[in-house]
Amino acid sequence: MALALEIISPEKMLVARSVDMVVIPGTEGDLGILPGHARLLTGLRGGLVDIYENNAVTDRYFVTGGFAEVTEERCSVLADSITRQADLDAGTAAALLTQAEADFAAVDVNDHDAYLEVSDRLISAQAMVDSVKAPPAGKINV
């Protein structure tokens, strides 16, 4: 049995195919989604979405956030923004992290909304830096 996977950005549908498994960066930790998974709706943090086929990671995408809806047969990832891991740029990631760290250091911790927004950007920027260093798809077998 396969899992129907959809990955959707604000601009377009990027992926619509059957896969063996997908691992998504949930707000509470990474989630491995297999066919028959319990229904779930979760927020996403910045991180990699790994697509598994034939016991190997075939595609990796970086998401900055969003949410995912999981049913027994389907996983729909609705990302705030999404980039193929291979298209990530180390210089851009480092610059985003430097800016996010500066913004985090300057934020008023009593401004709850501003603090959450800056915290999310910092987590996403650090995840992007880590994703640039992660092995590319096709180099990971399970």
**Residue 77 belongs to domain with CATH number:** 2.60.15.10
pTM: 0.89
Residue 142 within any structural domain of the chain: no
Residue 141 within any structural domain of the chain: no
Cα–Cα distance, 81 to 37 (Å, whole number): 25
Tens of each residue's pLDDT in the chain, 142 residues: 799 999 999 999 999 999 999 999 999 999 999 999 999 999 999 999 999 999 899 999 999 999 999 999 999 999 999 999 999 999 999 999 999 999 999 999 999 999 999 999 999 999 999 999 988 887 665 5
Answer yes or no: do 72 and 109 share one domain.
no
Answer yes or no: do 114 and 125 share one domain.
yes
User: Which amino acid is it at 37?
Assistant: H
Answer yes or no: do 113 and 57 share one domain.
no
For residue 140, the model assigns a pLDDT of: 63
Answer yes or no: do 32 and 61 share one domain.
yes
Residue 44 within any structural domain of the chain: yes
User: Which amino acid is it at 107?
Assistant: V
Q: Is 34 helix (H, G, I), strand (E, B) or coil?
A: coil
Answer yes or no: do 22 and 79 share one domain.
yes
For residue 141, the model assigns a pLDDT of: 58
Answer yes or no: do 23 and 8 share one domain.
yes
Contact (CB, 8 A) for 64 and 53: no
Domain region containing 107: 88-133
Answer yes or no: do 61 and 17 share one domain.
yes
Per the structure, how many domains does the chain have? 2
